[in-house]
Chain A
Amino acid sequence: MALLSLFKKKPRARDDRSPWGRGILVFSNTSEVIRSEQVIKEAGFDIRVMGPPPQIRSGCDLVIEFPLIEELNILRLLRESSINVEQVVPVTDHLLKPVDLFSVKDFGDYLMVRAANMKITVHTQSLTIVNISGGGCPDVPYLAREMIGKPLTQAPSPGDIGHTLCGYALQLAYEEVRRRCSV
């Protein structure tokens, strides 16, 4: 914990986006990426969740791009959080960028937000999640079952219970609909 506190106090203002200064962390599943993103960001490091370059043939469909110089610190941090990193490689090519655009449809009593291939629809008065659609990964029906019928304030977050990129996209839509509904 002391080490974590030390990281938190450390200002991380530099924004080194030059590829040769960046590395990528490869994980075996998306849940580990989501946990790692939270842990590393809380410690104040400048990271981005990205798509793996074609030359990375192992791991899941998300990687974390990070300042290569901080490799030791970040790996230590993840080890302390019991998160296993499958591979660490320097960036040698442009990484693919996740979708960060939203489309919104207002049905009057209902508001639908779409991020990438995922849509979430909320009843605007009760703030109940009434539908989740789109996506093709196996956690989509699971997420729908766990979230539909619950208010935005009580529903589990896709970032907590999802496991795939569709779950990650739904998390973005979920955050956007919460923002628009002032939750």
Chain B
Amino acid sequence: MLGIVGTVPEERFPLIQGKAVFDGTRLSVAGRKIDVNRGTPALLAAACQMSGALGLDAPMAFLAGDIGLGHGSRELYSWLAGNVADCELTTMAFHYLQPDVDGHSKVLLAVQAMARPPRLIADAGFMYAAKMSGQSPEYELFTPDAGELAFLADEKAPHPFYTRGFILAEDNDVPELIAMAYRHDNAARYLLVKGRDDRVADKTGILFTVDTPRVEALEAMGGTGDTLTGIVSCLIQAGLSTPEAARLAAAVNRTAGALSDPDPASQIMDIIPCLPRAYESLISEHKVSQVRGEVS
């Protein structure tokens, strides 16, 4: 089963676990309704949509409320460190959590002690913590944007806010930044670098570039990176190799974006309903092998 760990931007939202259900407008987890605008709820909604298209079980959500003070994140770190071993998970995606090196290390230790450790995907704050802890190579996939890639490439930066001169790196700089991230052991086994062009890379360099369809307005839209992480998590759970999953996920996300015909004011809920149609169109038009079923 796919497990997704993250936060909901509500101060009083409790620590909950449960199967995520998306009804087309809102998420439900453990009887709680959750608005989808961006962040982990957007990732979960995308994962629910893709799970349906792929014939997977609904993803298991591990959530807490956090508006940036760190309380909910700390609860989640603590709960996972003590309980994750009892969860049957084959893939885990970690998302918006307050970066906390100690909390991260305890969770990673608990995951690695599982009888069958799941494949690990990290994005957003948890990816920052993974890099800061020096344990990036323990992960199967990171999904940084260009600014976050610059942070991974800078061996001294504790957060993207402090990344040295190349934080505003353009697409041309991505290959060198990828090399720097691997040189300093600050990258996962694979990287899916989100941007004007999406790049899939490993320590040997760029494996795939996905640059179509190109929709400029998506750069302004919050949540497109979240949906991409949700899609790739499902495709990995469905059994695709990580590079193939990353390549197809980038194509699905871009195609869904194009189908929604966005402008810079569009919101991520305009795109999420288009994901199954985008996936089906790629299967039929580009003869991508249909992915069905779930890895054990």
Interface, chain A (partner B; CB < 8 A): 29, 31, 51-52, 61, 96-99, 101-103, 105, 107, 109-110, 112, 114, 116-117, 119, 121, 123, 130-145, 148, 162-169
A138 touches B68 (CB 8 A): yes
| Contact of A138 with B97 at beta-carbon distance under 8 Å, contacts A61-B159, A114-B168, A116-B167 already known | yes
- Shortest distance in angstroms between B268's beta carbon and chain A's nearest beta carbon? 9
Which B residues are closer than 8 A to A by beta carbons?
7-9, 37-41, 66-70, 72-73, 96-99, 123-128, 145, 147-148, 151, 156-163, 167-168, 216-217, 219-225, 263-265, 267
Residue of B148, B158, B220 near A131 (CB, 8 A) is: B220
Would you list 8 pairs from A and B whose C-beta atoms are within 8 A, ordered by A residue? Answer: A31-B69, A51-B158, A61-B158, A116-B167, A117-B167, A137-B124, A141-B38, A145-B37
Known: A29-B69, A110-B220. A116 touches B265 (CB 8 A): no
| Residues in B whose Cβ lies below 8 Å from that of A163 | 67-70
* Most chain A CB atoms below 10 A, which of B168, B224, B264: B264
- A137 near B162 with CB under 8 A, answer no
In the bound complex, do residue B264 and residue A99 qualify as a contact, i.e. CB atoms below 8 Å apart? no
With A117-B148, A140-B96: A133-B221 Cβ-Cβ less than 8 Å: yes
**B220, A133: Cβ atoms under 8 Å?**
yes
A167 vs B168: C-alpha distance when bound (angstroms): 18
Chain A residue at minimal CB-CB distance from B266: A131
| Top-5 shortest CB links A-B | A139-B68, A136-B124, A141-B39, A163-B68, A130-B265
Say yes or no: A133-B37 contact (C-beta < 8 A), given A107-B217, A138-B97, A163-B69.
Answer: no
In the assembled complex, the CB of B198 is this many whole angstroms from the nearest CB of chain A, namely 15
B69 smallest CB distance to A (angstroms):
5
The residue from A133, A139, A168 contacting B223, defined by CB atoms under 8 A apart: A133
The answer for the CA separation of A148 and B269 in the assembled complex, in Å, is: 14
Contact A131 B9 (CB under 8 A): no
Q: Which of A61, A102, A137, A148 has the most CB of B within 10 A?
A: A137
Considering the chains assembled together, what is the distance between the CA atoms of A137 and B292 in angstroms? 34
A137 with B264, Cβ < 8 A, contacts A61-B159, A142-B68 known: no
* Beyond A97-B162, A117-B148, A140-B39, 10 extra complex contacts between A and B, CB < 8 Å: A61-B158, A61-B161, A98-B161, A103-B168, A116-B147, A136-B123, A138-B72, A140-B222, A141-B38, A142-B9
Q: A116-B163, A166-B161 are in contact. Are A138 and B264 (CB under 8 A)?
A: no
The residue that B265 contacts in the complex, of A131, A137, A140, A142, with Cβ under 8 A, is: A131
Q: Which residues of chain A are near B160, meaning CB under 8 Å?
A: 99, 116-117, 135-136, 165-166, 169
Pair B162/A96 contact, Cβ less than 8 Å: yes
Contacts of B223 in A (CB 8 A): 133
Q: Which residues of B contact A168 (CB under 8 A)?
A: 161
Q: Tell me if A112 and B98 are in contact (CB < 8 A).
A: no
Knowing A116-B161, A116-B167, A164-B98, the reply to whether A137 touches B220 (Cβ < 8 A) is no
**Inside 8 A of B224's CB, which chain A residues have their CB?**
133
By a CB distance below 8 angstroms, the chain B residues around A143 are: 68
CB distance from B33 to the nearest CB of A (A): 15
Closest to A94 in B: B156
Q: How far is the CB of A8 from chain B (nearest CB, A)?
A: 30
Residues of B within 8 Å of A165, CB to CB, are: 159-161
Distance in angstroms between the alpha carbons of A96 and B156 in the assembled complex: 9
Residues on A with C-beta less than 8 A from B41 are 141
How far does the alpha carbon of A168 sit from the alpha carbon of B39 in the complex, in Å? 18
Q: With A133-B224, A137-B125 as given contacts, are A123 and B265 in contact (CB-CB < 8 Å)?
A: yes
Flag if A131 contacts B264 (CB, 8 Å): yes
A29 and B221 form a contact (CB under 8 A): no
Cα distance A101–B167 in the bound complex, in angstroms: 8
Residues of B within 8 A of A29 (CB): 69-70
Contacts known (A133-B222, A145-B37); A138 close to B66, Cβ less than 8 A: yes
Q: Which residue of A lies closest to B8 (CB)?
A: A141
Q: Is the CB of B216 within 8 A of A107?
A: yes
